[in-house]
């Protein structure tokens, strides 16, 4: 293979489906087994789930239903973990599973909307301990390869009592096995670092074996093209690597690629038709695509795809289910903790979607088995007949098996388990297909069809409905953009930050005028910075608040920008008054000390409506209410059984919600009872949680952790807290608790954790889908906290819906969250409704305690000089682009030159028209000034026309000169066109002044050698050198031919 020859798949592009094209709520399990954890046929997808200890599989369809939605169901397969699974290559509904319960079972699946079978069609009991792997034979029906703990087994399902062969026992755990594409050989990889190739029909011992792997950690093996094997595993330095082997010589690899260091194993998937290889590491959020070639370079990377979530497993969709009209050459399904993400690999083509590109789609293996298991065992080597992927030549659909019993919408996690005493099924082999020569024909009711991709086109009404469901509800904030404001607004050189504040603390607190930051200095010191005085802080010591004990939480009074409440680890709350203009000296004496808790305090919160009302939670498992006007404790709430993670007041100030480590979410009405009025289950994880009221106080939003320590959001109805979360969504894995900020005007919640770099943004709506994800914001580095300012700090002219302050290790930086809009000159009244005046109290603490309820006034954020966008005048639609035919029309070089010349002449004027001065007959003196201006204009026109004539003459002369060059000139121009390089450019590249063959060869050899990749050069530079030499050699050949022709003409 020429090193400069390009592959037609080199530009293959991965396209991750939009989130409404994902299969959600899958709850994938994280179990230790050698399988891929997910498999797909042309119609179905099955995957490991966490239900029943891993004994259940999740089931869905490859394509959504006519309403654009996926139906998820579950199959109770085994009494222990399902370790591996595989679909029959000849029957898209036939699934084989193996398990830790030492059995192999075959299942005939139905559509996910229907009731799935409660018992398998066949059960095998190999009796070799835990089973790890199972694979269908690629050419024969009814044949399986089963990987026990140390022994590969070959099994004919029509002979259910004993296997056809028990291959030589490995010295350690079997890690992977793979059939060769023609079905003749079986390859295995083992924990003993050995690679083995078996010919089961010839001998039970391997025909080839070698200790080839460098590390005994999880490895995978796969047959690829040209009798080569591909393995993934780890090298001696525990770096993940991919190696290519010649199956006839396993002592040394043909090629290798290192993928970096990570603990997860690499799952390989190979497409024989295209030679494309998919590599996905478990626990990674990236999927790599390589092309496997028959010669150097054997492995070349095609793409690197970054996904939103880490990988649990991957599977490849069969070729017959691909959208060939969109140039889709491969489709991969990525299994994550909460969803299945389709990744489509497409080759960019000019007429994609309109034409079938047969060069991308050679005939692929069909769905008719070449022979039976018995025929194969007797020495048969027939191959599966290939079929075309052309839409007009695809195989016809067969009827899909159905059952009349409708499936339940939400299946229970339990299910009937196989009774070992029941023994084996007495039916004939379910692996024999209707097309098999050794099998009797089946009725259409028991025959499975091909891919749902062959269904006839839907009606227009169905198409419209499918498009509508595919798009789904979308948030008008989905394109929100976060941006750090100009450096002039930053407070820099912040020194001595306390980075070890408790998880219940936000890390710092802000209001419209100042920022309070705890310092890592003895005595619990707190720095207060004025927002009106940005810039670099001096290196000298600054005046601070001397809290005397370590700070566990702090909060500004929402109605007094000078009052700061600080909770200490001595169970006391100190209230400080910051003087006007900021701190000028040390503050050592608080205005008020609140004492009543018996143990360290968790967190404190001011009341949103009543002035001077504060609530606190403590290690003594109580919540206490304080009246700052009198300095007294006014209430004492009980009922918590463990650490109180977070508290939140309802928007109307009547209720208080808490989330606790005991796994409960509670709602209190402090003025009526000290016990909770409602209680419900909270997040399963115990690492931390936060709670906030959303959707006008009708729902509670809790950010916490699930049982796998993955961060997520949980939405509860405040009317039925005991029924649990009505909606959940998983985000990522990180140790820090997500701190939510909720904007009641837009219903947007912004979340981030201390030490994170990503800020998640969602719009919360009171109906399905509840959470609508928006664009996230990524900070340049890890931040220590994010606090938000009042709504009046937003610049509505720039469509800022929220402004926050981001605390980093040494700076405080303002961050604006803006929504892109076209008509920014108008006030976006759909984004900025009247906002509550939350910086002013609605009532006093004593009034609230007496039972009076208040409500904030509202104000408009619209500037006086702006018009609401709802009142903007309607504009007629304007066509922005010319029709596609204008761009697609092909023109010759001569046509383009003529058009260019005509356009220039048209701009300069018409040469055939008489000049204006020819009609002059004389003027009066008082009109001289007017005609003087006309003379100047006419002079310019005369010069322009003269220039146009000169330009045309020059063009004609150049054409004549080109013709005068004769045959050699035409050949030289043709050579430049073919090679894509002019003679002058080629001479410059090889540093040649005169065309001497010796000098050309000398300079070529030197430049090609110094640009070799092994000495720091590149293939690109070498290719330029090669093309330059080809162009100069062509020019020498032209000159030689021209010289010979001249001599011949002279002789005659």
Q: Tokens 């050309």 — which residue? A: 1000
By the 8 A CB rule, do 96 and 157 touch? Answer: no
pLDDT (average), residues 383-395 = 85
HSE at residue 346, side-chain half, CA atoms within 13 A, is 19
Which range has the worst mean pLDDT, 68-72, 230-234, 796-800, 943-947? 943-947
Which range has the worst mean pLDDT, 474-478, 886-890, 1038-1042? 886-890
Q: What is the pTM of this model?
A: 0.47
pLDDT (average), residues 127-155 = 89
Asked whether the predicted pLDDT for residue 5 surpasses 80, the reply is no
> In 10 A of CB 916, how many CB atoms?
14
By the 8 A CB rule, do 361 and 320 touch? Answer: no
pLDDT tens figures, 548-602: 899 999 999 999 999 999 999 899 999 999 999 899 899 999 999 999 999 999 9
Asked whether the predicted pLDDT for residue 486 surpasses 70, the reply is yes
Q: Of 891 and 328, which is predicted with more confidence?
A: 328
Asked whether the predicted pLDDT for residue 314 surpasses 60, the reply is yes
Q: Of 226 and 958, which is predicted with more confidence?
A: 226
957 backbone dihedrals φ, ψ, rounded to 5°: -65, -40
Please state, in angstroms and rounded to a whole number, the distance separating the CA atoms of residues 806 and 796: 20
Residue closest to 617 by CA, chosen among 607, 604, 627? 604
By the 8 A CB rule, do 1027 and 990 touch? Answer: no
Torsion of CA 998, 1004, 1007, 1008, to 10 degrees: -140
Please state, in angstroms and rounded to a whole number, the distance separating the CA atoms of residues 39 and 314: 8
At a CB cut-off of 8 Å and minimum separation 6, what does 698 contact? 717, 718, 719, 766
pLDDT tens figures, 724-779: 999 999 888 888 899 999 999 999 999 999 988 899 999 999 988 899 999 999 88
pLDDT of residue 431: 44
pLDDT tier at 467 (50, 70, 90 boundaries)? Answer: very low
Q: Of 403 and 837, which is predicted with more confidence?
A: 837
Please state, in angstroms and rounded to a whole number, the distance separating the CA atoms of residues 735 and 503: 10
pLDDT (average), residues 85-110 = 91
pLDDT tier at 928 (50, 70, 90 boundaries)? Answer: low
The pair of structure tokens assigned to 378 is 């007797």
Rg (CA), the chain: 38
pLDDT of residue 669: 94
Asked whether the predicted pLDDT for residue 992 surpasses 60, the reply is yes
Q: Write down the H helix ranges in 288-413.
A: 373-377
Q: Helix, strand or coil for residue 452?
A: helix
Residues shown for the chain: 1052
534 backbone dihedrals φ, ψ, rounded to 5°: -75, 170
Which range has the worst mean pLDDT, 246-250, 811-815, 835-839? 246-250
pLDDT tier at 995 (50, 70, 90 boundaries)? Answer: confident
Q: Helix, strand or coil for residue 276?
A: strand
Please state, in angstroms and rounded to a whole number, the distance separating the CA atoms of residues 668 and 658: 8
Strands 194-198 and 186-190 turn out to be: antiparallel
Please state, in angstroms and rounded to a whole number, the distance separating the CA atoms of residues 255 and 173: 26
DSSP 587: B
pLDDT of residue 503: 84
By the 8 A CB rule, do 160 and 430 touch? Answer: no
Q: With left for phi above 0 and alpha for psi between -120 and 50, is residue 983 left, alpha or beta? A: alpha
DSSP 207-233: SEEEE--S--S--EEEE-STTEEEEEE
DSSP 90-150: TEEEEEEEEETTS-EEEEE---TTBPPPSS-SEEE---SSSEEEEEE-SSEETEEEEEESS
pLDDT (average), residues 703-720 = 90
- Angle formed at CA 759 by CA 754 and CA 761, multiple of 5 degrees: 135
At a CB cut-off of 8 Å and minimum separation 6, what does 144 contact? 96, 104, 134, 135, 136, 137, 154, 155, 157, 431
Q: How far is CA 183 from CA 138, 140, 159, 568, in A?
A: 6, 8, 19, 72
| Cis amide leading into 415 (omega within 30) | no
pLDDT of residue 95: 93
Strands 610-611 and 843-844 turn out to be: parallel
Highest mean pLDDT among 67-71, 429-433, 783-787: 783-787
Query: What are the DSSP E strand ranges found in 789-921?
Result: 800-807, 812-818, 835-836, 843-844, 858-859
pLDDT tens figures, 177-193: 999 999 999 999 998 88
DSSP 7: P
DSSP 809-834: SS-EEEEEEE---S-TTSB-TTT---
Residue closest to 819 by CA, chosen among 560, 483, 540? 483
By the 8 A CB rule, do 607 and 845 touch? Answer: yes
DSSP 954-1015: HHHHHHHHHHHTHHHHHHHHHHHHHHT--HHHHHHHHT-SS--HHHHHHHHHHHHHHT-GGG
By the 8 A CB rule, do 945 and 911 touch? Answer: yes
| Cis amide leading into 769 (omega within 30) | yes
The percent of residues in the chain predicted with pLDDT above 70, rounded, is 82
pLDDT tens figures, 957-973: 555 544 544 555 556 66
DSSP 519: B
pLDDT of residue 745: 93
pLDDT of residue 534: 93
Please state, in angstroms and rounded to a whole number, the distance separating the CA atoms of residues 158 and 431: 9
Please state, in angstroms and rounded to a whole number, the distance separating the CA atoms of residues 491 and 497: 13
Which range has the worst mean pLDDT, 172-176, 387-391, 845-849, 946-950? 946-950
Residue closest to 235 by CA, chosen among 258, 208, 268, 264? 258
Asked whether the predicted pLDDT for residue 369 surpasses 80, the reply is yes
Please count the helices (runs of H) and the strands (runs of E) in the chain: 10, 68
The pair of structure tokens assigned to 223 is 């047959």
pLDDT of residue 957: 53
pLDDT (average), residues 651-671 = 94
Asked whether the predicted pLDDT for residue 305 surpasses 80, the reply is yes
pLDDT (average), residues 135-143 = 92
By the 8 A CB rule, do 578 and 557 touch? Answer: no
By the 8 A CB rule, do 807 and 786 touch? Answer: yes
pLDDT of residue 952: 65
24 backbone dihedrals φ, ψ, rounded to 5°: -100, 170
DSSP 573: E
pLDDT tens figures, 266-301: 999 999 999 999 999 988 889 999 999 888 888 888
pLDDT (average), residues 799-828 = 93
Q: Of 262 and 86, which is predicted with more confidence?
A: 86
At a CB cut-off of 8 Å and minimum separation 6, what does 573 contact? 565, 566, 567, 593, 594, 595, 601, 604, 614, 616, 626
Residue closest to 590 by CA, chosen among 556, 610, 563, 557? 563
Q: Of 1005 and 483, which is predicted with more confidence?
A: 483
Strands 758-764 and 748-752 turn out to be: antiparallel
pLDDT of residue 684: 87
Which range has the worst mean pLDDT, 8-17, 447-456, 514-523, 701-710? 447-456
Report the DSSP beta bridge partners of residue 305: 287
pLDDT tens figures, 579-593: 998 998 999 999 999
By the 8 A CB rule, do 481 and 817 touch? Answer: yes
pLDDT of residue 398: 47
Residue closest to 548 by CA, chosen among 531, 566, 533, 561? 566
Please state, in angstroms and rounded to a whole number, the distance separating the CA atoms of residues 20 and 468: 11
pLDDT (average), residues 878-886 = 52
pLDDT (average), residues 432-442 = 37
At a CB cut-off of 8 Å and minimum separation 6, what does 610 contact? 653, 841, 842, 843, 844, 845, 847, 848, 854
pLDDT of residue 1025: 84
The pair of structure tokens assigned to 970 is 């035409």
Return mean pLDDT, the chain. 82
Strands 131-136 and 143-148 turn out to be: antiparallel
């Amino acid at each position: 293979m020429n090193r400069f020859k390009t592959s037609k798949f080199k530009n293959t592009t991965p396209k991750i489906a939009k989130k409404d094209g994902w299969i959600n709520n899958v709850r994938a399990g994280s179990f230790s087994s050698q399988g891929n954890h997910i498999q797909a046929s042309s119609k179905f997808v099955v995957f490991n789930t966490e239900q029943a200890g891993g004994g259940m599989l999740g089931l869905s369809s490859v394509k959504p239903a006519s309403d654009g939605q996926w139906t998820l169901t579950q199959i109770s397969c085994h009494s222990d973990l399902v370790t591996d699974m595989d679909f029959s290559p000849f029957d898209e509904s036939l699934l084989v599973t193996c398990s830790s319960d030492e059995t192999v079972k075959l299942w005939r699946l139905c559509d996910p909307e229907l009731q799935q079978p409660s018992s398998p069609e066949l059960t095998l009991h190999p009796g070799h301990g835990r089973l790890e792997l199972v694979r269908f034979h690629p050419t024969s029906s009814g044949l399986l390869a089963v990987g026990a703990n140390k022994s590969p087994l070959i099994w004919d399902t029509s002979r259910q009592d004993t296997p056809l062969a028990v291959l030589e026992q490995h010295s350690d755990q079997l890690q992977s096995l793979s059939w060769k594409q023609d079905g003749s050989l079986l390859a295995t990889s083992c924990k003993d670092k050995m690679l083995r190739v078996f010919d089961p029909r010839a001998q039970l011992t391997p025909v080839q074996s070698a200790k080839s792997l460098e590390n005994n950690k999880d490895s995978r093996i796969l047959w690829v093209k040209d009798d080569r094997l591909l393995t993934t595993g780890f090298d001696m330095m525990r770096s993940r690597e991919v190696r290519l082997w010649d199956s006839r010589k396993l002592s040394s690899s043909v090629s290798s690629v290192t993928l970096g260091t990570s603990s997860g194993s690499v799952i390989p998937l190979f497409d024989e038709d295209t030679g494309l290889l998919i590599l996905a590491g478990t626990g990674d959020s990236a999927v790599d695509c390589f092309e496997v070639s028959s010669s150097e370079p054997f492995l070349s990377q095609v793409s690197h795809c970054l996904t939103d979530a880490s990988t649990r497993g991957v599977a490849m969709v069969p070729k017959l289910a691909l959208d060939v009209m969109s140039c889709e050459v491969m489709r991969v399904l990525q299994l994550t903790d909460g969803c299945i993400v389709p990744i489509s690999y497409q080759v960019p083509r000019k007429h994609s979607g309109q034409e079938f590109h047969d060069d991308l789609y050679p005939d692929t293996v069909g769905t008719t088995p070449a022979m039976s298991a018995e025929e194969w065992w007797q020495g048969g080597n027939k191959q599966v007949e290939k079929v075309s992927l052309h839409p007009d030549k695809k195989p016809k659909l067969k009827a899909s098996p159905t059952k009349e019993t409708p499936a339940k919408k939400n299946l229970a996690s339990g299910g009937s388990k196989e009774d070992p005493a029941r023994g084996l099924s007495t039916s004939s082999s379910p692996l024999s297909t209707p097309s098999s020569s050794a099998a009797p024909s089946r009725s259409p009711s028991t025959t499975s069809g091909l891919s749902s991709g062959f269904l006839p086109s839907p009606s227009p009404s169905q198409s419209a409905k499918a498009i509508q469901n595919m798009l789904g509800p979308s948030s008008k904030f989905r394109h929100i953009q976060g941006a750090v404001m100009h450096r002039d607004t930053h407070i820099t050189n912040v020194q001595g930050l306390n980075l070890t504040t408790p998880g219940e603390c936000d890390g710092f607190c802000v209001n419209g005028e100042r920022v309070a930051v705890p310092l890592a200095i003895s005595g619990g010191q707190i720095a207060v910075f004025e927002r009106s005085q940005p810039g670099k802080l001096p290196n000298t010591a600054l005046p601070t608040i001397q809290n005397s004990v370590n700070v566990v939480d702090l909060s500004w009074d929402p109605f007094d920008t000078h009052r700061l409440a600080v909770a200490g680890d001595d169970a006391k709350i100190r209230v400080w008054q910051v003087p006007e203009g900021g701190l000028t000296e040390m503050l050592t004496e608080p205005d008020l000390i609140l004492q009543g808790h018996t143990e360290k305090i968790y967190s404190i919160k001011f009341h949103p409506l009543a002035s001077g009302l504060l609530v606190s939670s403590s290690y003594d498992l109580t919540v206490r209410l304080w009246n700052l006007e009198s300095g007294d404790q006014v209430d004492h709430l009980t009922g918590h059984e463990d650490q109180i993670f977070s508290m939140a007041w309802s928007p109307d100030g009547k209720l208080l919600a808490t989330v606790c480590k005991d796994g409960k979410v509670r709602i209190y009405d402090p003025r009526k009872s000290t016990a909770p009025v409602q209680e419900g289950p909270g997040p399963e994880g115990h690492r931390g949680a936060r709670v906030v009221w959303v959707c006008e106080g009708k729902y509670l939003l809790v950010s916490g952790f699930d049982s796998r320590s993955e961060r997520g959001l949980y939405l509860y109805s405040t009317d039925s807290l005991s029924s649990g979360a009505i909606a959940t969504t998983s985000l990522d894995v990180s140790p820090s608790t997500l701190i939510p900020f909720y904007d009641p005007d837009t219903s947007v919640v912004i979340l981030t954790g201390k030490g994170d770099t990503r800020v998640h943004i969602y719009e919360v709506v009171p109906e399905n889908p509840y959470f609508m994800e928006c664009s996230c914001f990524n900070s340049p580095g890890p931040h220590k906290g994010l606090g938000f300012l009042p709504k009046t700090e937003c610049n509505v002219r720039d469509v800022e819906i929220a402004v926050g302050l981001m605390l980093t290790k040494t700076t405080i930086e303002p961050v604006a969250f803006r929504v892109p809009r076209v008509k920014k000159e108008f006030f976006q009244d759909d984004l900025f409704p009247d906002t509550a005046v939350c910086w002013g109290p609605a009532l006093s603490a004593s009034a609230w305690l007496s039972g009076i309820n208040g409500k904030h006034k509202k104000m408009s954020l619209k500037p006086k000089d702006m018009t609401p966008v709802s009142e903007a005048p309607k504009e007629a639609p304007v066509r922005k682009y010319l029709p596609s035919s204008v761009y697609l029309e092909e023109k010759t070089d001569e046509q383009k030159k003529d058009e260019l010349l005509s356009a220039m002449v048209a701009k300069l004027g018409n040469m055939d028209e008489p000049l204006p001065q020819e009609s002059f007959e004389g003027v009066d003196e008082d009109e001289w000034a007017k005609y003087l201006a006309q003379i100047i204009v006419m002079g310019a026109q005369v010069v322009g026309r003269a220039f146009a004539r000169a330009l045309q003459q020059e063009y004609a002369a150049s054409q004549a000169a080109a013709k005068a060059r004769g045959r050699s000139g035409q050949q030289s121009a043709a050579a430049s066109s073919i090679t894509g390089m002019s003679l002058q450019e080629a001479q410059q590249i090889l540093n040649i002044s005169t065309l001497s063959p010796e000098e050309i060869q000398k300079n070529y050899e030197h430049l090609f050698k110094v640009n070799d990749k092994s000495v720091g050069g590149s293939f690109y530079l070498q290719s330029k050198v090669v093309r330059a030499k080809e162009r100069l050699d062509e020019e020498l050949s032209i000159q030689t031919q021209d010289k010979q022709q001249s001599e011949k003409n002279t002789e005659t």
